[in-house]
Amino acid sequence: AQTVTQSQPEMSVQEAETVTLSCTYDTSESDYYLFWYKQPPSRQMILVIRQEAYKQQNATENRFSVNFQKAAKSFSLKISDSQLGDAAMYFCAYSLGGSEKLVFGKGTKLTVNP
């Protein structure tokens, strides 16, 4: 079974600084997708960034980028120039290619200090 592990229950960062959230996953498949979702206090799940496993290039979305290490099965999220609005729970997630199911990690609570 596929599993997603987030080893950092909580992280904090100063406003305008950079923070990296860790995620590892376990799968024997070659075709899959990885995601980072943000869940602010409103509880709305918001897609931050997505990575296709077949792509070697790391995905980026403005201040958000990932470090995808396929051999190591690692998928970390880097948030640059952190803003107060970035404070939220961040969930790493995996889905098998062709499947619509998402498997989530346990989440990392990010605090942004002014």
Partner 1 sequence: GAVVSQHPSRVICKSGTSVKIECRSLDFQATTMFWYRQFPKQSLMLMATSNEGSKATYEQGVEKDKFLINHASLTLSTLTVTSAHPEDSSFYICSARFGSYNSPLHFGNGTRLTVT
Q: Which is nearer to partner 1, 85 or 114 (CB)?
A: 85
Structure tokens at 13: 């960062």
| Residue from the set 19, 90, 107, 112 that interacts with partner 1 by CB under 8 A | 107
Structure tokens at 47: 């897609």
Binding mask 65-94 for partner 1 (x = CB under 8 A): --------------------------x---
Q: Cβ atoms within 10 A of the Cβ of 37, count?
A: 21
106 binds partner 1 (CB under 8 A): yes
Specify which residues 89 forms β-bridges with: 39, 109
